[in-house]
Amino acid sequence: MDKCYKLALAIGILSATQVDAQTHYGMGAGTQGAAHAFFGTNAGMVNLGSNNSFLGHESGFSNVDGAANTFVGSFAGYKTIDGNSNVFIGDGAGLENVSGNMNTYIGADAGLLNKDGGGNVAIGHQAQYFGKTGLGNCSIGYHAGRMAIGDHNVLLGSEAGHSNAGSSNTFLGYRAGYLAGIGELNTFVGSETGVNNTTGHHNAFLGENSGYNNKEGFSNTFVGSESGYSSQTGVGNVFLGNKSGYSNTNGHQNVFLGYGAGFHNTIGQRNTYLGYGATGNPVVENATAIGSEAKVTASNSIVLGHKANVGIGTSAPSFQLHLSTDAAAKAGSPNWIVASDHRLKKNVTNFTDGLNLLKQIHPVWFQYNGKAGIETGDKKFVGIIAQEMQKIAPYTIGAFTHQDSLGNKTEYLGYDANAVTYILINAVKEVVEQKDAELKVVNEQVSELSKRLEQLERIIADNAVKSLTGSTACMEQKEDGVVLEQNAPNGFSGSSAIKYFIPKSVKEATVNVYSANGTKVNSYSVNERGEGKLTISASDFENGVFLYDLVTDGKSNGVRKMVVEK
């Protein structure tokens, strides 16, 4: 108390005796310069500048031409020579400043190493400590921008932008942009946002630990606690929601919206996930998942919802995909592909419903009455009545529930026509089997009639030969052992073979061929004995029916009919 009283008394006495508004108090305190106030040992010792106020041991010690400066604290502004309009408050604040102008450093060692920087504001212990030439920076907080050397940065929070060397950054929050490096035009808001950023630029991180590990990534926007937490080199990502894009490291151009959206994505690119927990395979590309906990695991795919119904033109979809009209189309086949690989199936049994069931189905014309949200106007459709079909083929009928705008639920029946395709297949197979059986009977009858006709033709032919040769045809082996068989093939366009048996005792044998009217058209000598075969060519005859006879030692051995079809 006594010390304060004595100091006040001394100041009062000095004020009463000041000349040209000069006030100096302390051993070695400067006495030169207009309108100055120096308090403390060696304060303003060599000052020649005007309008300076130095309070503290050796504050403003080196100031010569600097004007309008306010230095408060031991060694505050110690090396300032010609800097102007600076405010340094705190032990060692602005100590190394030489010619910097319009700086405001408040706090012990704040802006301590600044030399030529101007227009800076540093508030906090060692805030902007190493800033030597920075311009237009604002650092507020313990060690805020301590190592910073860039320009036009706003660093607010304990250790915010601690090692920043870039320019035009805005870091707000505890350790926000701590490493910063040479990254520029970044905005980090929240505790430890963008802590590890080094060269990343044009990023906006908002929320605790958002963009925590970002190093070189740029043009990213992360909003929400721990959003983009693991991002390192990602580019052009937008993550909105707590923990959104949490595991993304190098993925580019993704949009994740919702709590935990895209949580598992690591290097996937150009993905869009919307909804709580909407996510996908860590490496998929060009994929979209929309809806709470929707998940997509294949690239170039879109997934809507998780166990959800999708409605188009309806506010209360009752099916996984529900259209309000029949206005849907696709190129080519109207059918959908069904997964049918045997490796995907079990409990396989035969489906046998067919013709009998098909005949019971009752197709009808109808119009929808507007219930269950199905509004199609006066348009008519062809179909069935589910209740009728349920009695015939219950496996084609299922139930669905419609919920109206008031929350009232009503259960209706739906019809799956897929099985009818296979009912039709079985019905066609049954009809084909019936027709095949009928055709078999007809073919057997025709074959029997053909045999009878052939027998009749042989009889007629034998009689014709008899009238021409005086011999009677015989199919059986002759008494002398001669045998003549039917040529094969009969009805030929190339060649045909006539088998025979001629005993060794036969001296002369000839096969004679006659036209249908009895004219001999060819003759073949047979020199072999025993079993043999005579091959004749269709090129030796015109088209038509011919008769042939084996003559041995002048004796006929029976006649056969031969047909040539070229």
User: pLDDT, tens digit, for every residue of 508-549?
Assistant: 999 999 998 888 999 999 999 999 999 999 999 999 999 999
CA 274/CA 286 separation, integer angstroms: 14
Question: Percent of the chain scored above 90 by pLDDT?
Answer: 73
CA 272/CA 287 separation, integer angstroms: 6
24-28, 64-68, 478-482: which has the highest mean pLDDT? 64-68
Confidence class for position 19, pLDDT limits 50, 70, 90: very low
User: pLDDT, tens digit, for every residue of 139-168?
Assistant: 999 999 998 888 999 999 999 999 999 999
At residue 425, the pLDDT reads 97
CA 204/CA 176 separation, integer angstroms: 12
Confidence class for position 14, pLDDT limits 50, 70, 90: very low
Task: Transcribe 342-402 into DSSP letters.
Answer: GGG--S-------HHHHTT---EEE---SGGG---TT--EEE--HHHHHHH-GGGEEEEEE
Name the burial class of residue 241, with classes exposed (0-12), middle (13-18) and buried (19+) by CB atoms within 10 angstroms of its CB.
buried
pTM of the shown model: 0.66
552: CB partners within 8 A, 6+ apart? 480, 482, 502, 506, 508, 509
At residue 446, the pLDDT reads 82
Checking if the pLDDT of 23 tops 50, the result is yes
CA 237/CA 466 separation, integer angstroms: 107
Confidence class for position 494, pLDDT limits 50, 70, 90: very high
434: CB partners within 8 A, 6+ apart? none
Checking if the pLDDT of 172 tops 90, the result is yes
User: pLDDT, tens digit, for every residue of 371-413?
Assistant: 988 888 899 999 999 999 999 999 999 999 988 888 899 999 9
Write the single-letter amino acid at 133.
T
CA 43/CA 37 separation, integer angstroms: 9
54: CB partners within 8 A, 6+ apart? 29, 30, 36, 37, 38, 39, 40, 43, 44, 47, 60, 63, 69, 70, 71, 72, 76, 77
> Taking the mean position of all CA atoms in its chain, how far away is CA 509?
89
Checking if the pLDDT of 170 tops 80, the result is yes
Confidence class for position 13, pLDDT limits 50, 70, 90: very low
Weakest-pLDDT range from 74-78, 198-202, 434-438, 442-446: 442-446
Note if the bond before 282 is cis, omega within 30 degrees.
Answer: no
User: pLDDT, tens digit, for every residue of 331-385?
Assistant: 777 777 888 999 999 999 999 999 999 999 999 999 999 898 888 889 999 999 9
Name the burial class of residue 188, with classes exposed (0-12), middle (13-18) and buried (19+) by CB atoms within 10 angstroms of its CB.
buried
Q: Helix or strand or coil: residue 540?
A: helix
At residue 29, the pLDDT reads 80
CA 135/CA 151 separation, integer angstroms: 5
CA 238/CA 91 separation, integer angstroms: 44
Name the burial class of residue 219, with classes exposed (0-12), middle (13-18) and buried (19+) by CB atoms within 10 angstroms of its CB.
middle
Phi, psi of 104 (to 5 degrees): -125, 110
Confidence class for position 197, pLDDT limits 50, 70, 90: very high
At residue 474, the pLDDT reads 40
Mean pLDDT over 447-466 rounds to 64
Checking if the pLDDT of 280 tops 90, the result is yes
CA atoms within 13 A on the CB side of 404: 9
Q: Helix or strand or coil: residue 556?
A: strand
At residue 459, the pLDDT reads 59
Mean pLDDT over 85-89 rounds to 96
At residue 457, the pLDDT reads 64
User: pLDDT, tens digit, for every residue of 289-343?
Assistant: 999 999 999 999 999 998 888 888 888 888 888 887 777 777 777 777 888 999 9
CATH 2.60.40.1930 for domain 483-564, yes or no, is yes
At residue 455, the pLDDT reads 63
Checking if the pLDDT of 479 tops 60, the result is no
Contacts 24+ apart (CB under 8 A), 488-494: 490/561, 490/562, 490/563, 491/563, 491/565, 492/538, 492/563, 492/564, 492/565, 493/538, 493/564, 493/565, 493/566, 494/537, 494/538
> Over the chain, what is the mean pLDDT?
89
User: pLDDT, tens digit, for every residue of 103-143?
Assistant: 999 999 999 999 999 999 999 999 999 988 899 999 999 99
Spatial contact of 141 and 154, defined as CB atoms under 8 Å apart:
no
242-256, 442-456, 537-551: which has the highest mean pLDDT? 242-256
Spatial contact of 549 and 558, defined as CB atoms under 8 Å apart:
yes
Mean pLDDT over 197-205 rounds to 97
